[in-house]
Each structure stands twice: as C-alpha cells, then as structure tokens.
C-alpha cells in the first residue's frame, strides 16, 4: 500500500474519482484503468501525478482525512488504524485504485461499519 502525500495527488483523486457518501464517512475511488481518465486532456501537474500512479499499477494508493471535528487524537488515530487494517486485509480488491477515506461522524463509526460499507462500495 502506498499513501497519497502531496496536495496535487489528493486534488487529482478528488477531481477525477467517483464519490461514495455513506453518512458516517465518505470515500473517493479512482480506478486507473477507467477509459474516461485516458480521454481527458490533463494539465502538466495532472499528467505528472497520473504518470506516477501508472508506474505503480500493481499497487494501490490510500489517503486519509480525519478532521479534528471527529474527536480527540486517540479517536482520530483509531479510525485511521481501522481504515489501514481494512486496506491490508482487502488488498486484492484495491489494486489499481486510489482511495481517499474521509471520516465524518465518529459516533457511528466502528470497524465492522467501515468494512461492511467499503466492501459494498467496492463491489459496485
């Protein structure tokens, strides 16, 4: 698993991905092999990011966004650990994709909720 690090990588995924809102969290999923992505005219910065994604096609990229509105640091770290654990367990479903996980409501989040909803989203 590789992580999204720069603002340009996050912006590229936000702009070109499919958004799936699940109430307690939101996910942005970008499939590198999607035909519409190859048809678009990309800017220089977008081409640079997309080229780095394609160079590692046998892996997947994950980005996490958990704001301070969710709770204190231990709560935010727990949610991040749960999402990373999901990614490690279900690597075979995520190959060739970039995913950004945005937590919204910590009171309704649990590991089973994250796993169930993400499997539902990825099964589409």
- Supply the CATH number for residue 30's domain: 3.30.230.10
Instruction: Give how many domains the chain has, as a whole number.
Output: 1
Coil, strand, or helix at residue 71?
Answer: coil
Q: Which domain holds residue 111?
A: 2-122
Question: What is the predicted pLDDT for the residue at 80?
Answer: 92
| pLDDT means over runs of 10, the chain (124 residues) | 86 88 88 71 72 71 91 92 92 90 84 88 76
Q: Which of 38, 31, 50, 40 is nearest to 93 (CA)?
A: 31
Question: What is the predicted pLDDT for the residue at 107?
Answer: 77
What is the 3 state secondary structure string of the chain? CEECCCHHHHHHHHHHCEEEECCCEEEEEEECCCHHHHHCCCCHHHHHHHHHHHHCCCCCEEEEECCCCCCCHHHHHHHHHHHHHHHHHCHHHHCCEEEEEEECCHHHCCHHHHHHHHHHHHCC
Please state the pTM of the whole predicted model: 0.83
Question: What is the predicted pLDDT for the residue at 7?
Answer: 87
DSSP code for 6: S
Question: What is the predicted pLDDT for the residue at 54?
Answer: 65
Question: What is the predicted pLDDT for the residue at 19?
Answer: 92
């Amino acid at each position: 698993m590789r992580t999204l690090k720069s603002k340009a990588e996050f912006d590229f995924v936000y702009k070109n991905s499919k958004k799936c809102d699940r109430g307690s969290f939101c996910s942005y999923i970008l499939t590198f092999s999607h035909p519409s992505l190859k048809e678009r005219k990309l800017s220089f910065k977008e081409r640079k990011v997309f080229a780095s994604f394609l160079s590692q096609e046998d892996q997947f990229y994950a980005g996490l966004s958990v704001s301070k509105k969710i709770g204190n640091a231990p709560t935010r770290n727990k949610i991040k650990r749960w999402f990373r654990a999901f990614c490690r367990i279900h690597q075979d479903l995520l190959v060739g994709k970039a995913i950004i996980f945005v937590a919204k409501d910590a009171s309704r989040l649990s590991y089973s909720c994250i796993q169930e909803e993400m499997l539902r989203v990825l099964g589409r």
